[in-house]
A and B are shown apart, each in its own frame.
Chain A
């Protein structure tokens, strides 16, 4: 049996796993702010009593979820990243985090997924804002195995969790049912440069590493799939022999994983050069799909390779 999950769409992987969890535990309640997904169909059909469309009212969705959790429920809430985070940020802070309740925010439309929909739909500040909340766990899975596992990790977490799930099919990076408790993994070793990335940008990082190998530069890749709590100890261990680090992400340059890594380097007095590659500090009004906007922001493979070559030379 092939245990790789590269044929499974990330969203399908997540919702299928959540369906299995909710089928066994009727205490699991799913709220959506009028956001659907093809793979949610069977949840909605088979688990009617556990599925509620709260309408396009994200603030209320968070507060109701918190109320349900106060009443003993384990709750998953769902909508597009900017609406799931920025729109109801204070409800997340107070109702979920201050009270440390078992509610999981499932955000789709990570980064520039909804490219042509404009800045209203771009999820490019979520890491920055969500990581400022003390109690929250932030998961940013990169393939279907870990996306599916994220549902289980969140279900078992006694406090709030935020999961940024992507869509589409990506090469498998992990075996199904792997242990993801480390929070990050070294997918590829490299002696010259290490790229730290998260979510599906990890696949971009792997392509960049492969490309740079043609330039005789040995590049390692770290998948930071749990952004918070950060496994600082393991991160420091992974980068202990590095001279150069690159962070690659779809968050803006402010507050994302580039900021996280720079904070670690500063706090632990590591004298390692860092290049942060991210969305610039401006809103993107250009229309186009994700791939086009990646090129526009120099986040496509060729541009990232060039940026790294220029920087490392």
Chain B
């Protein structure tokens, strides 16, 4: 287990380095949120959680992952390229002329299941997918990654109520609980806690984990395919926005600021020294 976790941490560090270079090269991108959810994405794609096959992208039995907080697409792109969905050489063209990798994911990108970017859409999409699986007795699982700032959107709660009512226990949502929205801390903008109680009240099972601990993330997901509960599962992953680069961590400037010059060098150095 220790070795597995070490490999996941190494992979996450690699993803953050890619994201840093992509965003630095493009001169734009949402680095803070990409870094806060990197460990979650790495756990899902490399931790033996998601079922997928890059050689058969449309395989019907694949699990569906929807990045509802689409602005964190850079981290997902790095992972999808690494897994073989498209050439890693595309990463350096991120957000540049003619590149398939735009600022927010869309279905035209191999490995992306749904167009996201405007917040509050992903959970409804995921609920529909999960419901279709139930209707057709298919065993694929649907995962949706939400932001905590995104959870201000009323549509998240419409979807939450729907999934709870329809007992979509084949739906797993994860909240990247980094505590920041675009220009503010959630506690100063609109208090969202008690988030756990909210989801429970909407008919979900809720687990709270450290979103940067692979032990906790993998433990929370260890039996997600065979849970006895008939409720959908929400994992509230406590994270740090900008995780991995000291001056970005929980820094309101790094929702979509781009490190340049000396700051870029410091960020590179910190990530290189990590592992």
Which residues of A line the B interface, CB within 8 A? 29, 49, 54-55, 57, 59-60, 62-73, 90-91, 94-95, 98-99
Residues in B whose Cβ lies below 8 Å from that of A98: 106, 115
What are 14 A-to-B residue pairs whose CB atoms are below 8 Å? A63-B128, A63-B159, A64-B125, A66-B124, A67-B124, A67-B132, A70-B113, A71-B136, A71-B138, A90-B118, A91-B121, A94-B117, A98-B106, A99-B107
Residues in A whose Cβ lies below 8 Å from that of B127: 60, 63-64, 67
Interface flag for B131 (CB, 8 Å) = yes
Residues in A whose Cβ lies below 8 Å from that of B131: 64, 67-68, 71
A72 near B155: Cβ-Cβ < 8 Å: no
Expressed in whole angstroms, the Cα–Cα distance for A132 and B126 within the complex equals 27
Whether A59 contacts B154 in the complex (CB less than 8 A), given A67-B126, A70-B114, comes out as yes
Counting contact residues on chain B (CB < 8 A from A), the size range is 20 to 34
Expressed in whole angstroms, the Cα–Cα distance for A70 and B113 within the complex equals 8
Q: Which residue of A lies closest to B155 (CB)?
A: A59
Residues in A whose Cβ lies below 8 Å from that of B130: 67
Interface flag for B100 (CB, 8 Å) = no
B125 near A67: Cβ-Cβ < 8 Å: yes
Residues in B whose Cβ lies below 8 Å from that of A70: 64, 113-114, 125, 128-129, 132
Expressed in whole angstroms, the Cα–Cα distance for A98 and B106 within the complex equals 8
Whether A68 contacts B159 in the complex (CB less than 8 A), given A62-B124, A94-B115, A99-B114, comes out as no
Residues in A whose Cβ lies below 8 Å from that of B265: none
B136 near A59: Cβ-Cβ < 8 Å: no
B114 near A54: Cβ-Cβ < 8 Å: no
Residues in B whose Cβ lies below 8 Å from that of A67: 124-132
Q: A70-B113, A95-B125 are in contact. List 20 more A-B contacts (CB 8 A).
A: A54-B162, A57-B161, A59-B124, A59-B154, A60-B127, A60-B159, A63-B127, A63-B159, A64-B124, A64-B127, A64-B159, A67-B125, A67-B128, A67-B129, A71-B129, A72-B132, A73-B132, A94-B116, A95-B114, A99-B114
A68 near B129: Cβ-Cβ < 8 Å: yes
Interface flag for B133 (CB, 8 Å) = yes
Residues in B whose Cβ lies below 8 Å from that of A63: 121, 123-125, 127-128, 155, 159
Whether A72 contacts B136 in the complex (CB less than 8 A), given A98-B106, A98-B115, A99-B115, comes out as yes
Residues in A whose Cβ lies below 8 Å from that of B129: 67-68, 70-71
Residues in A whose Cβ lies below 8 Å from that of B117: 94
Task: Identify the interface centre among B128, B154, B158, B162: most chain A CB within 10 Å of its CB.
Answer: B128
Contact of B128 (CB < 8 Å), options: A66, A90, A94 = A66
Query: 4 closest Cβ contacts across the A-B interface?
Result: A67-B128, A63-B124, A71-B132, A60-B158
B121 near A95: Cβ-Cβ < 8 Å: yes
Over the window 141-159 of chain B, the binary record of Cβ atoms lying under 8 Å from chain A Cβ atoms (1 yes, 0 no) is 0000000000000110011
B126 near A94: Cβ-Cβ < 8 Å: no
| Distance between A295 CB and nearest chain B CB, rounded to angstroms | 39
Interface flag for B275 (CB, 8 Å) = no
A71 near B133: Cβ-Cβ < 8 Å: yes
A60 near B155: Cβ-Cβ < 8 Å: yes
Residues in B whose Cβ lies below 8 Å from that of A99: 107, 114-115
Whether A65 contacts B114 in the complex (CB less than 8 A), given A59-B154, A60-B158, A71-B133, comes out as no
A91 near B128: Cβ-Cβ < 8 Å: no
Expressed in whole angstroms, the Cα–Cα distance for A64 and B144 within the complex equals 13
Expressed in whole angstroms, the Cα–Cα distance for A270 and B121 within the complex equals 43
Q: Which residue of A lies closest to B131 (CB)?
A: A68
Task: Identify the interface centre among A62, A63, A69, A73: most chain B CB within 10 Å of its CB.
Answer: A63
| Distance between B59 CB and nearest chain A CB, rounded to angstroms | 13
Expressed in whole angstroms, the Cα–Cα distance for A72 and B58 within the complex equals 12
| Distance between A94 CB and nearest chain B CB, rounded to angstroms | 6
Interface flag for B1 (CB, 8 Å) = no
Residues in B whose Cβ lies below 8 Å from that of A94: 115-118, 121
